[in-house]
């Protein structure tokens, strides 16, 4: 096979040598526009896992690369005069030039033709090739030429950065943050050979411009960075090796490249994207070179597995690598956004700021950090516990973040777990009966800090279904009091009530009889911000609320609020999410009013805020009130996370103590991007920008998720829904799974506690032994 690699970076060189090694009869050429020893940039980073992949692919290359590595385990975070260090991370740095030279020599040993100082204009220059690899980098001409096939999505990120070097030797991968009168700058520094370190300086574009760097000459800009980060450089200078760039041109924005497909057939041969031509991952996760080399490994492997069937090999390559790359790119996106928004996290205590940085990509979780550096995590757990007003007893285990107490107004929750309000559709005339006593009582005894009752309605016509609970009369109040009294008498859990009005989504059947379908008979009139039919051609149509309707519904909510206080609830939440009545005012998708309650976000919030203020005045001042919002409608033209921050600020000003951050369900046209903890970023933004406590919800399913969220300051509470349907004792079980035994079980269940903990400890020991056996066999 005749193979041409356009571009002599890591991807092209490594694929070339792997293919030549696989079959010496291949003619393999690498064509590079620069000279053999030209390169730009400084050091590149690998994880220990990447080294394992290289050793399996070509041990000779891997051994030489390993011999040239500078290895470190520590990550050091410097902020506001504090230095915080975490170990066990296992990274390696190597000079980019050194890496290329190793790959070039290995190519030459195997017989690959290296052609330098040749600027390839297009793939048509190689009509004889059977396979063309477009490894021509970030600004790939080939990708641009065949954009209709590859369909690239290029997102220019928000920070400016410059890639510099220094002779200061950094013992750890070092992050340094400095606040200026213009905003925050950050440096990413790591040693990559015996005498040189990479030193990347980064700042949001507006900060970079305000500091005057846009108009500075290169030497002046470097001097600015030296002065700003002088405390970390110990008198060493910063250096640039981009002599071809002048002035502000050395400061670039990172382009996130995602291609829909990676293979184009030019009529003679397939043209395959590889490395930065196909995808990019922000330098803050150190995976760009890793991805390029692993692209090469996978494509060579696929071709080797199906000799003579190049089409199948390319199809498999694209399928396998696109999934793996997407995982890294998702993590890189999280990391990128963290660094773009350092201002958001700068208010956090240095200890929490550092932890937030370490876990920013969501690839590293709380338990993963514990595996890397147990001492660091246990010390941090003690810090979190003390900040929450708890201390571990002598000789006791550190308290996991999820089990630390949390206080709002006069209410203290024993831990950060909330049983999410989950509709059960099992009431008669709005009255909760024995089912709810058992359902809510069991979950109160399961270890959660608080149990929330499902959305409860202030009037019969506010219900979603006839089976929904209500709180418009004393019979319902007394039924709820029975449940509240049971929870208080038999558990340490607090119990909260969520009040809401279904609006245009009301008067439907219970889900097991036809979800979202109107009642077969007995439908009640529907109201909402504007006339609306939730499901086109299916749902009943609501009418727009009049001012008289608004006053009546507000008063209905106030009456229910008073009944909730009389029933003994500890917490009250107003439901302003998911397309229900109050949500229909907030979202521009459902509010088309032209009066003072429509138009701008301020106007659309007017009525929900009126209702909230009236409820807050009727609710005991020593008890908390939260508001559930849809922080993202997932529909173009709907509520965005930017809007959500403003919504949170408005409710905070009105007296809200917490924002419960959900999303979606406003429109059936929504297109959510699901994934584990997929809604947590909304809680993170609102908490750290609007500076109000938040509750995270959505695909939070294990203790490790909760510990990571709470410890990083992304939310203050985590509401767990479906896992609590499957297991009322979810909190107690998850604590036992992570080996924490200092939990309080109901006295009736204590005989099971020791046995469960013993069985789980045996399982952990067996898993650890299996891991050891795998290492040595």
The residues carrying an active-site annotation are: 580
* Residue 620 contacts residue 565 (beta carbons within 8 Å): yes
615 phi and psi, to 5 degrees?
-70, -45
- Contact of 440 with 496, CB cutoff 8 Å: no
Cite the beta strand spans of 49-194 per DSSP E. Answer: 70-72, 75-79, 82-86, 91-95, 113-115, 131-134, 152-166, 173-180, 183-191
Nearest alpha-carbon partner for 384 in 739, 714, 712: 712
Query: In 3-state terms, what secondary structure has residue 715?
Result: coil
Q: Is the dihedral of CA 72, 75, 79, 83 positive or negative?
A: negative
- Cβ partners under 8 Å of residue 130, min gap 6: 1, 2, 3, 269, 310
Closest CA to 40 of 142, 163, 135: 163
Furthest CA-CA distance within the chain? 88
| CA atoms within 13 A of residue 591's CA, in its CB half-sphere | 28
Q: How is residue 361 written in tokens?
A: 């990509």
H or E stretch at 576: strand 571-576
Q: What is the dihedral of CA 427, 433, 439, 440, to 10 degrees?
A: 100
| Among the listed residues 697, 637, 627, the one whose alpha carbon sits nearest the alpha carbon of residue 662 | 697
Alpha carbons 133 and 3: distance in angstroms, whole number: 8
Q: Please, are residues 269 and 132 in contact by the beta-carbon 8 Å criterion? A: yes
Which class for 568: exposed (0-12), middle (13-18), buried (19 or more C-beta within 10 A)?
Answer: middle
Cβ within 8 Å of residue 666, ≥6 positions away: 578, 579, 583, 587, 589, 590, 630, 633, 635, 638, 639
Residue (of 669, 671, 673, 661) closest to 627 by Cα position: 661
Spatial CB neighbours of 729, under 8 Å, sequence gap ≥ 6: 445, 446, 447, 749
């Amino acid at each position: 096979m005749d193979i041409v690699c356009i571009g002599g970076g890591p991807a092209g060189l490594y694929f070339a040598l792997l293919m030549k090694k696989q079959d010496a009869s291949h003619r393999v050429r690498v064509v590079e526009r620069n000279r053999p020893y030209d390169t730009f940039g400084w050091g590149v980073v690998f994880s220990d896992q990447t080294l394992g992949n290289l050793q399996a692919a070509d041990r000779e290359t891997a051994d030489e690369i390993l011999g040239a590595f500078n290895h470190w385990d520590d990550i050091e975070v410097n902020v506001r005069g504090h230095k915080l260090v975490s170990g066990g991370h296992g990274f390696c740095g190597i000079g980019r030039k050194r890496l290329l030279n190793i790959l070039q020599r290995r190519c030459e040993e195997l017989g690959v033709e290296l052609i330098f100082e040749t600027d390839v204009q297009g793939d048509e220059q190689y009509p004889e090739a059977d396979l063309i690899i477009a490894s021509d980098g970030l600004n790939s001409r080939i990708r641009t030429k065949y954009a209709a096939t590859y369909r690239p999505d290029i997102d220019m990120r928000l920070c400016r950065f410059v890639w510099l070097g220094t002779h200061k030797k950094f013992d750890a991968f070092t992050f340094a943050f400095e606040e200026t009168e213009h905003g925050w700058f950050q440096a990413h520094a790591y040693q990559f050979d015996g005498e040189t370190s990479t030193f990347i300086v980064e700042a949001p574009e507006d900060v970079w411009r305000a500091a005057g760097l846009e108009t500075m000459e290169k030497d002046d800009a470097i001097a600015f960075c030296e002065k700003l980060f002088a405390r970390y450089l110990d008198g060493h200078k910063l250096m640039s090796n981009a002599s071809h760039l002048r002035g502000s041109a050395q400061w670039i924005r990172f382009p996130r490249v995602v291609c829909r497909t990676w293979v184009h057939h030019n009529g003679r041969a397939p043209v395959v994207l590889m490395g930065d031509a196909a995808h990019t991952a922000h330098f803050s996760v150190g995976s760009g070179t890793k991805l390029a080399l692993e692209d090469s490994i996978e494509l060579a492997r696929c071709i080797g597995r199906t000799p003579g069937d190049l089409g199948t090999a390319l199809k498999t390559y694209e399928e396998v690598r696109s999934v793996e790359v997407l995982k890294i790119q998702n993590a890189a996106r999280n990391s990128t956004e963290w660094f773009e928004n350092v201002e958001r996290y700068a208010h956090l205590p240095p200890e929490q700021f550092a932890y937030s940085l370490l876990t920013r990509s969501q690839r590293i979780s709380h338990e993963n950090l514990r595996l890397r550096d147990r001492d660091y995590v246990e010390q941090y757990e003690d810090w979190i516990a003390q900040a929450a007003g708890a201390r571990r007893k002598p000789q006791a285990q550190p308290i996991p973040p999820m089990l630390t107490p949390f206080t709002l107004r006069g209410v203290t929750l024993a831990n950060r777990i909330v049983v999410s309000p989950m509709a059960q559709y099992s009431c008669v005339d709005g009255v909760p009966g024995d089912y709810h006593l058992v359902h809510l009582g069991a979950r109160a005894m399961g270890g959660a800090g608080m149990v929330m009752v499902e959305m409860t309605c202030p009037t019969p016509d506010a219900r979603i279904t006839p089976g929904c609970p209500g709180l418009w009369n004393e019979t319902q109040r007394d039924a709820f009091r029975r449940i509240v009294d049971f929870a208080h008498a038999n558990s340490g859990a607090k119990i909260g009530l969520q009040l809401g009005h279904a609006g245009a989504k009301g008067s439907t059947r219970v889900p097991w009889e036809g979800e979202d379908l109107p009642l077969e008979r007995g439908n009640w009139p529907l109201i909402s911000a504007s006339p609306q039919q939730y499901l086109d051609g299916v749902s009943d149509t609501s009418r727009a609320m009049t001012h008289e309707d608004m006053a009546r519904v507000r008063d209905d909510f106030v009456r229910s609020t008073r009944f909730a206080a009389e029933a003994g609830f500890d917490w009250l939440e107003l439901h302003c999410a998911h397309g229900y009545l109050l949500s229909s005012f907030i979202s521009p998708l459902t509010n088309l009013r032209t009066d003072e309650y429509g138009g701008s976000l301020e106007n659309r919030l007017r009525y929900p805020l009126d209702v909230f203020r009236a409820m807050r005045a009727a609710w005991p001042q020593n008890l908390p009130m939260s508001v559930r919002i849809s922080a993202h409608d997932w529909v173009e033209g709907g509520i965005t996370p930017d809007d959500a921050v403003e919504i949170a600020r408005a409710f905070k000003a009105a007296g809200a103590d917490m924002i419960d951050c959900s999303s979606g369900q406003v429109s059936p046209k929504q297109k959510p991007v699901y994934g584990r903890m997929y809604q947590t970023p909304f809680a993170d933004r609102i908490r750290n920008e609007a500076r109000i406590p938040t509750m995270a919800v959505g695909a939070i399913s294990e203790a490790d998720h909760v510990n990571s969220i709470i410890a990083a300051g992304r939310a203050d509470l985590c509401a767990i829904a479906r896992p609590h349907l499957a297991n009322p004792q979810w909190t107690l079980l998850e604590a036992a799974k992570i080996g924490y035994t200092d939990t309080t079980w109901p006295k009736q269940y204590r005989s099971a506690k020791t046995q469960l903990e013993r069985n789980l400890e045996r399982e952990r020991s067996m898993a650890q032994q299996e891991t050891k056996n795998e290492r040595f066999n």
